[in-house]
Chains A and B, each alone.
With several copies, the nearest count.
Chain A
Amino acid sequence: MNELTHVDEAAISGQPKMSPAVEPKIVARKVQVFYGENHAIKDVDVDIPANSVMSFIGPSGCGKSTFLRCLNRMNDTIDVCRVEGKIEIDHEDIYDAKVDPVQLRAKVGMVFQKPNPFPKSIFENVAYGPRIHGLARTKTDMEEIVVTALQKAGLFAEVKDRLDAPGTGLSGGQQQRLCIARAIAVSPEVILMDEPCSALDPIATAKVEELIDELRENYTIVIVTHSMQQAARVSQRTAFFHLGLLVEEGPTDNIFTNPHDKRTQDYITGRFG
């Protein structure tokens, strides 16, 4: 522990902090990710402030999802994937041997890019998380949690008559919202959302954005999005990734109005490639 803290201090102090305004919830330093030979994330340093929304933008394949998956160690499940560097949440190194990824993931929830409902009923899909974390004492508690989560995700009205139908029989956008409901039902501290609105129509998108705004008060949210409008609408800070590098990071307004880096500028003006 000692030795590790030691290294931390050194590593962190050795880097200029990018957003000293708020106390950062998540601190990443020199993160490298390899898929076998493929160097997918290169030397990424970023601070993610608490109780705010940060969005990751960048061209497809630049490593947004990969980096996001580092934050709750979902990359552990990919055999060929190797993560280096240091990521701290609340000053605790999440790659520390003592950290239990299970507890980490309960604290850092995730909505995946491809909707992946369980082959269970809609109700069971949402109830699953609260049940394993023991969040509901009674059946009524559980029902309340499920209904609330579905409402938050804007799905309840559409499925209230068929909570027992399989979640896999929903439309693409419905599945996505089901996955959002599933993630917020366990009320994590940090929520990672990988393109949560990509399959959603504008109205559903607006609802989810509203939800994100609401959640921000108590949670730290990281969202990957392809829509710069969305990034502008919901996030306080934005990070721009390109070819595995974090090119630029800062207050959303700055990034969009006054980017420092040529690549960022090119990207947001659509002048890329």
Chain B
Amino acid sequence: MTDATLRSPISEPARKKSSLLAVDALTKKRNRAEARFKAYGVSAVVIGLLFLVALLWAILSNGLGAFSQTFIQVPVRLDRTAIEAAEKSVVKTSKYRAIINTGFRAALSKAGIDTDMDDRGLQKMMSSGAAATLREFVLANPDQIGRTVTFDFVASSRVDGYLKGRVKREDLVHDKNLDAAHLDLVDQMRKADIVTKTFNWEFVLGTDASDSRPEQAGMGASMVGSFFMMLVVLLLSLPIGVAASIYLEEFAPQNWFTDLIEVNISNLAAVPSIVFGILGLAVFIQFAHLPQSAPLVGGLVLTLMTLPTIIISTRASLKAVPPSIRDAALGVGASKMQSIFHHVLPLAMPGILTGTIIGLAQALGETAPLLLIGMVGFIASNFPEGLGDGFLAPNSAMPAQIYEWAKRADPAFYERAWGGIIILLVFLMAMNILAIVLRRRFERRW
């Protein structure tokens, strides 16, 4: 067969000459398709961002309130006999409350406010943690006994809510925690500058408090818990994930074992996170005897959970590196290992970092597995004392804390849960910023 025997469409052009400035019908159609396609793209991004804005709006509008807090200024006379009596009782703090009450009454009358409220009623104005604050101070500064010291006591959640507009006068009819008389008092105290609303550092830096003291609860300790967990996750899942991907993508022979690993990894991605919790409980706590509620265990469980995400994204981007790059390196006598670590890996970096960003985001926000290894609940209201403690001492984590708060009865916790989400997101962005910057630097086309 020779070419000449065939009718050639080239000698009789199928398209007639046309002006470039006048767009022909087919091109118009194709351009419309192009415009549509691009519009889909724009709207996809816009839709995504709109949802983000909607969610952020919900988060911010519900949660910003948690960042301010009402305090009541009370000068308290640290009377030795009263303190000694209090120290003798079973529930010492309840006696300290009485000491505060005395001071509080004095402060009120000094400001020219008189009230016929009984002690219980007065106590409702202030957090029940006030007594603990006082006791702690006394134990730490025995030399101050006998003097009068002015404290900024945290106001109770209802009073705080009143100043934030969350608690309304008419809502208090059925409320046994506060009534309208209290609000009158608050109004007067505000005039007298006894109550102040300030930025709530305690919320950012403090520890969790029990259900009866929402006003005292803070994210600090759980932030530390999340920090140590993420440290474990990052230090384990990134190197292990990348190493596993390199092995699978570059070294593994094509055989059933490789397929088995491959299927396994994608399957692990679909394992519900709570199952990882079951695994963590069985393996790390019951078998390996690691302590309960420890961020180390949480980190290990979340590492296992994050690995598939990192491996899948890393493998996809390793696959996307053109073979000619590998050839080039091998051709100058680089070993396979060198060609991968020197050339392929840097080119796959954006994908690896994306996997890390998404994987860590997921790990940071995960609650269910923590439920089973004991990191959800009311956990250690103390900060870890050192590095080792940070990994091993019982602690909660931010999402667990938020989840707990969201369940609690007092509406003030609801506000805190949203506030906690704000902190979590800030933490997330801080955590990812490095990866995002790095990714931009590695992104290139060839």
A74 on the interface (CB 8 Å rule)? Answer: yes
B325 and A118 form a contact (CB under 8 A) = yes
B10 and A118 form a contact (CB under 8 A) = no
A119 and B325 form a contact (CB under 8 A) = yes
A240 smallest CB distance to B (angstroms): 25
Interface of B is mostly: loop
B19 on the interface (CB 8 Å rule)? Answer: yes
Stretch with Cβ within 8 A of B (4 or more), from A31-39, A144-152, A256-264? A144-152
Assuming the contacts A102-B31, A116-B327, asked whether A148 and B332 have C-beta atoms less than 8 A apart, the reply is: no
Q: Please pick, from B14, B19, B328, B334, the residue contacting A116 in the complex, using a CB distance under 8 A.
A: B328
Which one of A72, A89, A102, A132 has the greatest number of beta carbons of chain B within 10 Å?
A: A102
Please name the residue on chain A nearest to B335 by beta carbon: A102
A114 on the interface (CB 8 Å rule)? Answer: yes
A6 smallest CB distance to B (angstroms): 16
A90 on the interface (CB 8 Å rule)? Answer: yes
B30 and A102 form a contact (CB under 8 A) = yes
Q: How far is the CA of A39 from the CA of B20 in the complex (A)?
A: 29
Q: How far is the CA of A184 from the CA of B13 in the complex (A)?
A: 11
Write out the residue numbers on chain A whose beta carbons fall within 8 Å of the beta carbon of B17.
90, 189
B330 on the interface (CB 8 Å rule)? Answer: yes
For residues 341 through 362 of chain B, which have their beta carbon under 8 Å from a beta carbon of chain A? 342-343, 347
Q: Mark A104-121, 1 if CB is under 8 A from B, else 0.
A: 111101111010111100
A148 and B9 form a contact (CB under 8 A) = yes
Q: How far is the CA of A112 from the CA of B325 in the complex (A)?
A: 11
For residues 117 through 144 of chain A, which have their beta carbon under 8 Å from a beta carbon of chain B? 117-119, 128-129, 132-135, 144
For residues 1 through 41 of chain B, which have their beta carbon under 8 Å from a beta carbon of chain A? 1, 3, 6-11, 13-15, 17-21, 23-24, 26-27, 30-31, 34
B333 and A106 form a contact (CB under 8 A) = yes
Stretch with Cβ within 8 A of B (4 or more), from A11-19, A41-49, A92-100, A224-232? A92-100
Write out the residue numbers on chain A whose beta carbons fall within 8 Å of the beta carbon of B444.
119
Q: Please pick, from B20, B335, B446, the residue contacting A99 in the complex, using a CB distance under 8 A.
A: B20
B198 on the interface (CB 8 Å rule)? Answer: no
B325 and A77 form a contact (CB under 8 A) = no
Q: How far is the CA of A119 from the CA of B442 in the complex (A)?
A: 11
B254 on the interface (CB 8 Å rule)? Answer: yes
Q: Please pick, from A100, A148, A179, the residue contacting B20 in the complex, using a CB distance under 8 A.
A: A100
B165 on the interface (CB 8 Å rule)? Answer: no
> How many A-B residue pairs lie within 8 Å, measured between CB atoms?
141
Please name the residue on chain A nearest to B334 by beta carbon: A132
A side interface size, CB within 8 A: 55
Q: Mark B294-324, 1 if CB is under 8 A from A, else 0.
A: 0000000000000000000000000000011
B327 and A134 form a contact (CB under 8 A) = no
A265 on the interface (CB 8 Å rule)? Answer: no
Write out the residue numbers on chain A whose beta carbons fall within 8 Å of the beta carbon of B20.
89-90, 92, 94, 96, 99-100, 103-104, 107
Q: Please pick, from A90, A96, A218, the residue contacting B10 in the complex, using a CB distance under 8 A.
A: A218
Assuming the contacts A72-B331, A132-B30, A182-B332, asked whether A187 and B14 have C-beta atoms less than 8 A apart, the reply is: yes
A168 on the interface (CB 8 Å rule)? Answer: yes
Please name the residue on chain A nearest to B19 by beta carbon: A92
Assuming the contacts A90-B20, A135-B14, asked whether A102 and B336 have C-beta atoms less than 8 A apart, the reply is: yes
Which one of A117, A119, A145 has the greatest number of beta carbons of chain B within 10 Å?
A: A119
A74 and B330 form a contact (CB under 8 A) = yes
A119 and B446 form a contact (CB under 8 A) = yes
Please name the residue on chain A nearest to B10 by beta carbon: A187
Write out the residue numbers on chain A whose beta carbons fall within 8 Å of the beta carbon of B24.
103
Write out the residue numbers on chain B whose beta carbons fall within 8 Å of the beta carbon of A77.
323, 326-327, 330
A133 and B333 form a contact (CB under 8 A) = yes
Please name the residue on chain B nearest to A79 by beta carbon: B254
Assuming the contacts A92-B20, A96-B21, asked whether A105 and B332 have C-beta atoms less than 8 A apart, the reply is: yes
Q: Please pick, from B1, B8, B336, B347, the residue contacting A119 in the complex, using a CB distance under 8 A.
A: B347
Please name the residue on chain A nearest to B34 by beta carbon: A102
For residues 418 through 446 of chain B, which have their beta carbon under 8 Å from a beta carbon of chain A? 444, 446
Please name the residue on chain A nearest to B254 by beta carbon: A79
A118 and B329 form a contact (CB under 8 A) = yes
Assuming the contacts A184-B10, A189-B13, asked whether A133 and B327 have C-beta atoms less than 8 A apart, the reply is: no
Assuming the contacts A77-B323, A90-B19, A118-B328, asked whether A129 and B333 have C-beta atoms less than 8 A apart, the reply is: yes
Write out the residue numbers on chain A whose beta carbons fall within 8 Å of the beta carbon of B31.
100, 102
For residues 256 through 290 of chain B, which have their beta carbon under 8 Å from a beta carbon of chain A? none
Please name the residue on chain B nearest to A100 by beta carbon: B23
A78 smallest CB distance to B (angstroms): 9
Q: How far is the CA of A148 from the CA of B15 in the complex (A)?
A: 17
Which one of B8, B10, B330, B335 has the greatest number of beta carbons of chain A within 10 Å?
A: B10
Write out the residue numbers on chain B whose beta carbons fall within 8 Å of the beta carbon of A96.
20-21
A40 on the interface (CB 8 Å rule)? Answer: no
Write out the residue numbers on chain A whose beta carbons fall within 8 Å of the beta carbon of B334.
102, 105, 128-129, 132
A134 and B26 form a contact (CB under 8 A) = yes
A126 smallest CB distance to B (angstroms): 10
A218 and B13 form a contact (CB under 8 A) = yes
A246 on the interface (CB 8 Å rule)? Answer: no
Assuming the contacts A105-B331, A112-B324, A168-B446, asked whether A98 and B8 have C-beta atoms less than 8 A apart, the reply is: no
Please name the residue on chain B nearest to A104 by beta carbon: B20
Please name the residue on chain B nearest to A105 by beta carbon: B333
Q: A105-B332, A145-B9, A188-B333 are in contact. List 10 more A-B contacts (CB 8 A).
A: A77-B326, A92-B19, A100-B31, A102-B334, A103-B27, A110-B331, A132-B332, A144-B9, A148-B9, A189-B17
Considering the complex of A and B, which 9 residue pairs feature the smallest CB-CB distances, nearest first?
A106-B333, A129-B332, A116-B324, A102-B335, A110-B331, A119-B446, A116-B328, A105-B333, A151-B3
Residues of B within 8 A of A (CB): 1, 3, 6-11, 13-15, 17-21, 23-24, 26-27, 30-31, 34, 254, 323-336, 338, 342-343, 347, 444, 446
User: Could you list 6 A-B pairs, sorted by A, with CB under 8 Å?
Assistant: A94-B20, A100-B27, A101-B330, A105-B332, A107-B333, A129-B334
